[in-house]
Amino acid sequence: VCGCCGALRPRYKRLVDNIFPEDPEDGLVKTNMEKLTFYALSAPEKLDRIGAYLSERLIRDVGRHRYGYVCIAMEALDQLLMACHCQSINLFVESFLKMVAKLLESEKPNLQILGTNSFVKFANIEEDTPSYHRSYDFFVSRFSEMCHSSHDDLEIKTKIRMSGIKGLQGVVRKTVNDELQANIWDPQHMDKIVPSLLFNLQHVEEAESRSPSPLQAPEKEKESPAELAERCLRELLGRAAFGNIKNAIKPVLIHLDNHSLWEPKVFAIRCFKIIMYSIQPQHSHLVIQQLLGHLDANSRSAATVRAGIVEVLSEAAVIAATGSVGPTVLEMFNTLLRQLRLSIDYALTGSYDGAVSLGTKIIKEHEERMFQEAVIKTVGSFASTLPTYQRSEVILFIMSKVPRPSLHQAVDTGRTGENRNRLTQIMLLKSLLQVSTGFQCNNMMSALPSNFLDRLLSTALMEDAEIRLFVLEILISFIDRHGNRHKFSTISTLSDISVLKLKVDKCSRQDTVFMKKHSQQLYRHIYLSCKEETNVQKHYEALYGLLALISIELANEEVVVDLIRLVLAVQDVAQVNEENLPVYNRCALYALGAAYLNLISQLTTVPAFCQHIHEVIETRKKEAPYMLPEDVFVERPRLSQNLDGVVIELLFRQSKISEVLGGSGYNSDRLCLPYIPQLTDEDRLSKRRSIGETISLQVEVESRNSPEKEERVPAEEITYETLKKAIVDSVAVEEQERERRRQVVEKFQKAPFEEIAAHCGARASLLQSKLNQIFEITIRPPPSPSGTITAAYGQPQNHSIPVYEMKFPDLCVY
């Protein structure tokens, strides 16, 4: 009866019915809507019933395709939501969300857009009371589906996608800051939201390729789904807390993998730039860790994919370095260097498994080389953003990864027949060169500590010309602190070096201490590098740059004297030619000496010294231009076929230089001494072991192992009893040693002074007698294989015959 007679229906139903006009085109009846709003505010307990009734009408109108009344109902709901903020609004919201879901389920684009707009308005309302049971799972799924709309009509497709993005933005705003709501950061939600936004970002090029007319361009830009998706993604990431970064970044990596977006790498770089500039700076290292882990996970992927990840990592790391990288600095470099080693192995073996089989994916070497260059570039770009102390740590870390050269280094070859260790050394030295470029450190002791310098210079003794060149360039990068390096890129004999506009500072106390400690080591490696037969023009240019920079950055009077002695010794190498160097190398050494002495003479500003250098250079220009850099270090060198018997007028004379510099306060006694490099154990790492040493070593080994001397002892079988006995014996030996030390200490504490003095004197006498025996053996000529002859006075005299006439045993033939 109440349903048939309108006057008997509840008042809230009558008020709801009155807001709907007879003709839906007339729109919402505003006066009646004001009455309904006043009633809802006056009787908030009726709000849930009003919502339920409106929902009932809307569902009925949708089913009857009365879309005009549907729009009126949604408008009424929106106004009620904006006006009412009472405690019972939660029940009304449930009815509202039910109606929005009904619209979103419709196949009509206009209804979907209408429902989305209403939801966005609702998302912007701050509720006074929390809700414990509300769920947005359906809305996340539906809005994500709308973001991937493929409607035939481009305009409708764009509107649907934009509505989907706005809906996701509304869900994020409504839930991200409310701990009582469903956690929007759960993987089940992020795996839908983030790919939907990236999908629309990905298609920005497609929209731009259609080139709208200039008049339509502003409107087109406002309606672009890509811009809206980027804004939504920035807002999402900006709200992410520390524990939610991982769930937000992982879908990005998966999306780039699934759509093969690492290889063009433009879109991937754009995505991570958005991420890095949107998140809080203290969370940057979390993104770097995610990328490093993804790089490790894709260590067996194609080289182009890994190169794309590394490029993205490079861009992200540079941005992160401006904020907080945290403990990921060495972790990043460790991962990159590990990937570099793996790439070298892949290039050498030709497969990811180390063995080529039918099912193995063949690797392209040039792609692996591109990946290696990308890694090296990333190492350099990231290191350039680090502070000095962290950069020093990175330099030491990379150097510790460089394989140490060894005489017995195993040659591990792959498909190309190249040495794996050699390639690893080259790539790591390239990385080190990238890190050292632009490195500024006032204290050379900190920039080049002893352990680092020893390892670096030991690498400089290797036969490989490419490795030696890298070492020289690394040293130049460390020493050049005023940007003078490029001014010495070409070797020349300028008559006035003021045109170079060199930046010269006085040598500091720290630099003086550094040179006192390491100068001879540096000189020795420069000298030995000059004697290499495999040197080319780049090596001599690097050597000239290194000598020049030492003279400018680290030189005092003592260093200048030593450098002049070193260059004169290099001139002697070219003149005497004990190393049997090619003609080009000898001419290059003459030219190198001329260029450096021309530079140092003008830096010292001693007129007599400058005059002597200038006279020799002018003489060479007239009589021997092949001894000057202008004729040697060119594309087609003009060389002399006969360098023997060079006249003294063409050489820089040590006596003359010591005379003119001695008169200006330099140490003339030191200048008169020829430079002789100090021999160290590092020579054993190079090819400079003489044939005589090798023969004597072989003779000694063969004599010790010959069957006439002793028989081979069979190898002892290692058993449990053997190991047990060894452990027990070692313990007994340690106890004996401790007892012996105790007795010695007790003797020196309690014995009288005369007894201690006598004991020490006996030891000194024994030592002196042993030394006398050694000196006698050393000074006395070796016995002749042919026996002895008698001298004129009847005394037997040992007589040595030349080495080439000795008859060696067959086993000693070299």
Percent of the chain at pLDDT exceeding 90: 28
Give the 3-state DSSP-derived string for 748-786, with helices as H, strands as E and coil as C: HHHCCHHHHHHHHHHHHHHHHHHHHHHHHHHHCCCCCCC
> Looking at the domain assignment, is residue 43 inside a domain?
yes
DSSP line for 416-463: T--BHHHHHHHHHHHHHHHHHTT---S-HHHHS-HHHHHHHHHHTTSS
Instruction: Quote the DSSP letter at residue 798.
Output: E
The pair of three-digit structure tokens given for residue 556, joined into one six-digit string:
């005092």
> Looking at the domain assignment, is residue 670 inside a domain?
yes
> Looking at the domain assignment, is residue 286 inside a domain?
yes
| Residues 344 and 425 reside in one and the same domain | no
Name the band, by pLDDT with cuts 50, 70 and 90, for residue 723. low
pLDDT at res. 407: 41
pLDDT, one tens digit per residue, over 336-368 is: 999 999 998 888 887 776 555 444 456 778 889
Backbone phi, psi, residue 349, to 5°: -85, -25
Alpha carbon distance 687, 407 (integer Å):
9
Alpha carbon distance 657, 600 (integer Å):
12
Q: What's the Cα-to-Cα distance from 393 to each of 172, 338, 381, 480, 481, rounded to whole Å?
A: 42, 17, 16, 19, 19
Name the band, by pLDDT with cuts 50, 70 and 90, for residue 386. confident
8 Å CB contact between 253 and 294: yes
Alpha carbon distance 525, 680 (integer Å):
11
Percent of the chain at pLDDT exceeding 70: 79
Q: How many domains does the chain have?
A: 4
The pair of three-digit structure tokens given for residue 755, joined into one six-digit string:
């007894």
> Looking at the domain assignment, is residue 607 inside a domain?
yes
| Residues 374 and 397 reside in one and the same domain | no
pLDDT, one tens digit per residue, over 656-672 is: 999 889 888 888 888 88
H-run or E-run covering 315: helix 303-321
| Residues 470 and 541 reside in one and the same domain | no
Pick the last residue of a domain from 463, 478, 493. Answer: 478
DSSP line for 165-232: HHHHHHHHHHHTT-TTS--TTSHHHHHHHHHHHHHHHHTHHHHHTT---TTTHHHHHHT-HHHHHHHH
DSSP line for 728-748: HHHHHHHHHHHHHHHHHHHHH
> Looking at the domain assignment, is residue 360 inside a domain?
yes
**Residues contacting 737, CB < 8 A, separation 6+:** none
| Residues 374 and 499 reside in one and the same domain | no
Q: At what angle do helices 303-321 and 328-349 cross, to 10 degrees?
A: 160
| Residues 252 and 125 reside in one and the same domain | no
Q: What does the mean pLDDT of the chain come to?
A: 79
| Residues 567 and 462 reside in one and the same domain | no
Name the band, by pLDDT with cuts 50, 70 and 90, for residue 708. very low
pLDDT, one tens digit per residue, over 363-383 is: 778 889 999 999 999 998 888
pLDDT, one tens digit per residue, over 396-423 is: 889 888 887 654 444 444 444 456 888 8
Backbone phi, psi, residue 797, to 5°: -135, 130
> Looking at the domain assignment, is residue 4 inside a domain?
yes
The sign of the CA dihedral 114, 119, 124, 128 is positive
Instruction: Fill in the amino acid letter for 645.
Output: G
| Residues 343 and 426 reside in one and the same domain | no
> Looking at the domain assignment, is residue 183 inside a domain?
no
Instruction: Quote the DSSP letter at residue 517.
Output: H
Identify which of 88-97, 405-414, 492-501, 742-751 has the greatest average pLDDT: 492-501
| Residues 632 and 493 reside in one and the same domain | yes
Give start and end residues of each alpha helix (H) in 106-186: 109-123, 137-147, 154-175
Residue 211 has pLDDT above 50, yes or no: no
Backbone phi, psi, residue 419, to 5°: -80, 125
| Residues 631 and 493 reside in one and the same domain | yes
pLDDT at res. 10: 79
Residue 736 has pLDDT above 50, yes or no: yes
Alpha carbon distance 348, 647 (integer Å):
52
Q: What residue has token string 């360098």?
A: 643
Q: Which domain holds residue 459?
A: 388-404+416-478
Pick the last residue of a domain from 637, 665, 684. Answer: 684
| Residues 635 and 495 reside in one and the same domain | yes
pLDDT at res. 42: 77
Q: At what angle do helices 187-202 and 154-175 cross, to 10 degrees?
A: 140
> Looking at the domain assignment, is residue 594 inside a domain?
yes
Pick the last residue of a domain from 129, 146, 170. Answer: 129
| Residues 627 and 492 reside in one and the same domain | yes
| Residues 40 and 100 reside in one and the same domain | yes
Name the band, by pLDDT with cuts 50, 70 and 90, for residue 769. confident
Residue 121 has pLDDT above 60, yes or no: yes
pLDDT at res. 595: 94
pLDDT at res. 35: 82
Alpha carbon distance 599, 487 (integer Å):
12
Name the band, by pLDDT with cuts 50, 70 and 90, for residue 709. very low
